[in-house]
Amino acid sequence: MGPLQGIRIVELAGIGPGPFCAMMLADMGAEVLRIDRAQNVTAERPKTPSLDLLNRGRRSVGVDLKHPEGVELVLRLLERADALIEGFRPGVMERLGLGPDVCLARNPRLVYGRMTGWGQDGPLAHAAGHDINYIGLAGALDPIGRAGGPPVPPLNLVGDFGGGGMLLAYGIACALVERQRSGKGQVVDAAMVDGAAALMTIFHGMRQAGYWSDERGTNLLDSGAPFYDVYETRDGKWVSIGSIEPQFYRELLRRTGLEGEDLPRQGDRAGWDATKRRLAEVFRGKTRDEWCEIMEGTDVCFAPVLSMGEAPQHPHNRARGTFVEVAGVPQPGPAPRFGRTPPKIERPPAWPGEHTDEALADWGVPAGDLAKLREAKAIA
């Protein structure tokens, strides 16, 4: 199952973007072995699966990376692996004895994936940071927000996941394709500041062309335009409107009953505020469900703004199977779709070290070696 079936990946446990990258690859059929810290392994694990959904689809082994035999074990695993995922600060892997030079010497075909915020080099490379900092420096945070207000953090979607974990998954996939030609592995340096900047490419082009202002909340896609915004409904819920193209805007006016009113032209930016006030007034006249009856499935470019609890129940998401249930836990399913090699979530999230013996045995570690490693406290 999945287009990456047969690919083996070692993941050194981290937070946020690293696990998301590993989840993406595991969803696509790769066998990802998660290396958790032996210190995080408990003697008695809960009987229910972990709810850390980013860890789904892969097994976990507990290894002490500060123990020489634990490091050697990881190197043995990498000899059988196609790729590595690590998310430590620059220099940490080298100090552990697992830097790129050492790992690629053991396996020249290894794709060595590195996930950081600032990148492996540069003045800030060794500084601490989080998504909000990386997208701030990338110029991706400043444009998000309403006119007259502060920038609004878009959860941690832009840095951690879009510009981070997904960028690393893409980089690893690219390196695996290139390896088919060269026969050689390489290092993939995925930095969230780079990825967040890349996501902003279209806006840099619009800005250079004079179509985008640095004043947030005044542009086409940042809530400045009345035809690309969210509106509150009579029951305190919200709907989203994206009627950018003229024919879609005409449909919006028709279905809101504003078709015959003397409103400013769609492209008249000076009249945007007046049009927005009128649309807001109209949308407050009906409930969200009533607007869905009028607009959903039309060319208005409309959708209700659903909560996380509501989204899995929407008929479109149900029909496509956008959300799935694994071990009784509803969650977003694998994406994208494939016609011939459909992806699948192989297992629920593992507790740290849950599969130490069985997974290491499957990766070629003899039972006698497992006993010696456990006696030496190199594994949990």
Active site residues: 130, 160
- 346: Cβ contacts below 8 Å, ≥ 6 apart: 1, 26, 57, 58
Q: Where are the beta strands (DSSP E) in 38-167?
A: 59-63, 83-86, 111-116
Give the strand pairing for 329-332 and 59-63.
unpaired
User: Please, where are the H alpha helices in 48-165?
Assistant: 68-79, 92-96, 100-106, 131-137
Distances (CA, A) of 94 to 89, 100, 117, 125, 127: 10, 8, 18, 15, 17
| Number of residues written out for the chain | 380
Residue type, 223: S
> From CA 46, how far away is CA 94, in angstroms rounded?
35
CA atoms within 13 A on the CB side of 348: 15
Count the neighbouring beta carbons within 10 Å of the beta carbon of residue 232. Answer: 14
